[in-house]
Amino acid sequence: MITSFDQLIASLSDKPKRCIALAAAEDEVLLHAADQAQHQGLASFILVGNSDKIDEMLRDHDIESQFEVIHSERPAEAAVKLVRDGQADLLMKGAISSSALLKAVLDRERGLRKGDLLSHVAVIESPQYHKLLFVSDGGINLSFDDATFITVIRNAVDYIRYFGIEKPKIGMLALVEQVNAKIPETVMADKIAKLLQHECMIEGPIALDVAISAEAARHKHLPSRIAGDVDIMIMPNTTAANHLVKGLGGLGGCKVGGVIVGAKVPIILLSRSDDAETKLRSIALGLVADL
C-alpha cells in the first residue's frame, strides 16, 4: 500500500516511461515541473502551444531537458489528439482554463470520453495523518444528484486501487452525523451511504473530525467502522472539497496533488497557482493510473 508521495514516486522509477501531452505549456512553473519529471525518468513530454513562447521560456529559465514542442493555436484539441492517436499516453492541463481543456476531452467525436462523467480526485499527505487521503470532487462537477455522487464514488474507488487499496473506507462528509432536513447534505449522505452499503465500506453523514479521529468518535459516542482510518472523503459539494484541499495545502503544511479520472486516460489537472512540487506530485498521480 502506498502511503506517501515519496513512496508513490519511488514506485514509478522502474516502470515504463510514459509520454504526457501538456496543453498550453507556456508557463515557467509547468516547465520546471516537466523538467523535474523528465530528469527523474518518470515521463517524457510533448509541449503543445505557442512554440515561440515555449522556446523562449525554456531558454530564459535554463531548462536543459529536451522536449518535443508542437505549435498550435488550439492546444487543448491538439493535445487531446496526440493522446487519441497514441502519440502520448496522458493529458496534462497547462496555462489554459479547465473548461477549455475539458471541452476538448468531452467532445463526443474527437475527445477522450469513456463514460458520461468525469471527476476530480485530490490526494493529501498530512503530517498529522497516517496515510494518504483522497478527496472528491473538488474541480469538475458543480451540481450533485444521486447518480453523480455514485459515479464520483465509483471513480474514486477504481482509482485508489492503484495505491494497493482494494477495500477503501469512504466517508460522506457533512456538518454533523445526524440526519437533519435543514442540512441537505446530511440527507443526501445518508441516502447515498445506504444505496452503496452493499458495494463498499461507506458511512454518512460523518463530520470531518470523526472521519480522521477515532478518539473524536468515542467522545461523541458514535459507532463507526471508519473513524480515524478513512481513505476517501466525499465532500457535499465542489466548493467544500476545493476549500478543504487548498486550505490544507496553503495553511496546513500538507502535500497535495490532483488528477481527473473517468476518461480514457488520466488527466493531470492543476490549479494555475500550484508550485512546481505540487505539479510534480500531480504528474505522479496521473502516471500511477496509467501503468
Residue 222 has a CB neighbour count (10 Å cut-off) of 16
Where in the chain is CATH 3.40.50.10950? 1-114+263-291
- What CATH number has the domain spanning 1-114+263-291? 3.40.50.10950
Residue type, 22: L
Where in the chain is CATH 3.40.718.10? 119-258
pTM of the full structure: 0.93
232 DSSP β-pair partners: 134, 170
Residue 133: C-alpha distances to residues 4, 22, 127, 179, 191 (Å): 10, 26, 11, 25, 23
Per-residue pLDDT of the chain (291 residues; tens, 9 = 90+): 999 999 999 999 888 889 999 999 999 988 999 999 999 999 999 999 999 999 999 999 888 788 999 999 999 999 999 999 999 999 999 999 988 999 999 998 899 988 779 999 999 999 999 999 999 998 788 888 999 999 999 999 999 999 999 999 999 999 999 999 999 999 999 999 999 999 999 999 999 999 999 999 999 999 999 999 999 999 999 999 999 999 998 888 899 999 999 999 999 987 767 788 888 999 999 999 865
Cα dihedral 236, 241, 243, 248 in deg (nearest 10): 130
Residue 190: C-alpha distances to residues 169, 172, 196, 208, 225 (Å): 16, 8, 10, 15, 15
Instruction: In whole angstroms, give the CA distance from residue 199 to residue 201.
Output: 7
Please give the CATH architecture assigned to the domain spanning 119-258: 3-Layer(aba) Sandwich (3.40)
